[in-house]
Amino acid sequence: MHIEDIAYEADGKSLLGHLAFDDQLDGPRPAILVSHGGPGLDGLAKGVTEKLATMGYIAFALDYQGNGEQPPIELALERLGGLIDSPVRTAELALAGFNVLMAQPAVDPNRVAAIGFCFGGQVSLELARLGIDVKAVVGFHPGYTPDRTEDSRNIKGSVLLCSGTEDPFATMEQRSAFEVEMREAGVADWRLELYGGVGHSFTDPEASELGIPGIGYDANAARRSWQSMLALLNETLGSN
């Protein structure tokens, strides 16, 4: 297994992403861009990247906080707030990570997907809103931005967002607004998958340790959303 941290730059930042692929395989392979959650490039995103590599994908976890780190939470939230308010900056960071992934020699450019956790789900969507040919976008407990209908008309691939009904960052009103956006933008294939009684960060085994209402790990939701992602990847990227 080839595992490598790759330095690159975007948005005026020094970034450090995490690449993984099986170096014993030959020929072009499907690729997946992974976007971490708001606090920074953590063990969850790196672990997912390496797990995808064992399944035959070339996977790259981009970095949008900087230096591949998890800064103090106050700084992380400040930076995150700036990105939430600027889809253009978010798209720039998504595209920079995408370009690193596409530069890998064994990547099949016709079989690429983007997945993300928390705000990383929005990072993945912003990449698709640029009109980039990603076959699938998957967001795990993503946030939902204000209306982006015009840019969402550029989405070419399938969209799957997995949310808990009790997620304070993905309210019923926000989810309903996203449904309207997808319909009005004419996105051909999109899906919202909801898990009753589940909160934010349900894929992170350490989330419950925060002791914050509405944030917590849920093993069933984590397993079900992962299986839904794998089914979509198989459908859109084909077998490895």
Could you tell me the end-to-end alpha-carbon distance of the chain, in angstroms, rounded to an integer? 16
Look over the chain and give the mean of its residue pLDDT values, rounded to a whole number: 94
Span 34-65, pLDDT tens digits: 999 988 999 999 999 999 999 999 999 999 99
pLDDT score recorded for residue 103:
97
CATH of the domain at 74: 3.40.50.1820
Domain span at residue 44 reads 2-237
Q: Spell out the residues 6+ positions from residue 148 whose beta carbon is closer than 8 angstroms to its own.
A: 87, 125, 129, 181
CA 215 to CA 134: how far, in whole Å?
30
pLDDT score recorded for residue 213:
85
pLDDT score recorded for residue 240:
66
Count of structural domains, the chain = 1
Span 181-196, pLDDT tens digits: 999 999 999 999 999 9
Intervals of the chain under pLDDT 50: none
pLDDT score recorded for residue 239:
67
pLDDT score recorded for residue 171:
94
DSSP state, residue 39: T
Region of 38 on the Ramachandran plot (φ > 0 left; ψ -120 to 50 alpha; else beta) = alpha
Burial label for 11, CB within 10 Å (0-12, 13-18, 19+), is: middle
